[in-house]
Chains A and B, each alone.
Chain A
């Protein structure tokens, strides 16, 4: 039972470098999400995809782009990394069609450091 798989688990970048964080889920979920978690800030939504083919901005989308490649995969791209993007990134998925009470299921996170 893989659930939600994020790669890589750790990454160090230099300022200005680009990077794509990968996320895949095997639960046939419709909705997928990208969050960042910073100390004292809780979880903040970057982008989400309610269904295959759609993406929407969350609270903190600046500096990021996303691609919902297919139903399984939702990638997050940093085009020009900045130190302020140092964070732990979480991908989540949710079934999405059986009611709003369905919980989100999370990957293990990617720890990203920008020097």
Chain B
């Protein structure tokens, strides 16, 4: 079975705090792809990053970083020095094997308060 779990339903932090959003996935396929999307209050879904199963290198993009660990089946997302504009719902998703569809987590709602 393929599954994505985002255990944190809601997170609230104060501006400038660091925050990590957890994503745990399940798949028996050895080839798979992981994605993060952001949905700000305006409602659109914005692609943030993808990661292939054979590339465990962590990635940093400005204040955003992603930690992919196959040993724990996790693909966690950290925002450093959070800002109010980071307030959004963040979704983690998985495409595995020959599945043509994305498997979505239920999302984590992040509120960054001034």
Are chains A and B native binding partners rather than an unrelated pairing? yes
Residues of A within 8 A of B (CB): 31, 40-43, 45, 48, 50, 56, 58, 88, 90, 92, 100-101, 103-109
Minimum Cβ distance to chain A for residue B99 (Å): 9
Contact (Cβ within 8 A) B100 A43? no
Contact of B43 among A45, A101, A103, A109 (CB under 8 A): A109
Contact of B95 among A56, A88, A92, A100 (CB under 8 A): A100
User: Scoring B residues 9 to 51 as 1 if CB is less than 8 Å from chain A, else 0, what string do you get?
Assistant: 0000000000000000000000101010100000111110010
Residues of B within 8 A of A (CB): 31, 33, 35, 37, 43-47, 50, 52, 91, 95, 100-102, 104-107
Contact (Cβ within 8 A) A106 B44? yes
A-B contacts at CB below 8 angstroms, number: 44
Q: Which residues of A contact B105 (CB under 8 A)?
A: 42
Contact of A108 among B31, B44, B91 (CB under 8 A): B44
Minimum Cβ distance to chain A for residue B107 (Å): 6
Contact of B91 among A31, A42, A58 (CB under 8 A): A42
Contact (Cβ within 8 A) A104 B104? no
Q: Which residues of B contact A58 (CB under 8 A)?
A: 101
Q: How far is the CA of A49 from the CA of B45 in the complex (A)?
A: 20
Contact (Cβ within 8 A) A108 B104? no
Q: How far is the CA of A58 from the CA of B102 in the complex (A)?
A: 10
Q: How far is the CA of A50 from the CA of B99 in the complex (A)?
A: 11
Contact of A48 among B31, B101, B104, B106 (CB under 8 A): B101
Minimum Cβ distance to chain A for residue B3 (Å): 12
By CB atoms of chain A within 10 A, which of B43, B91, B107 has the most?
Answer: B43
Contact (Cβ within 8 A) A103 B50? yes
Minimum Cβ distance to chain B for residue A46 (Å): 11
Q: How far is the CA of A45 from the CA of B102 in the complex (A)?
A: 9
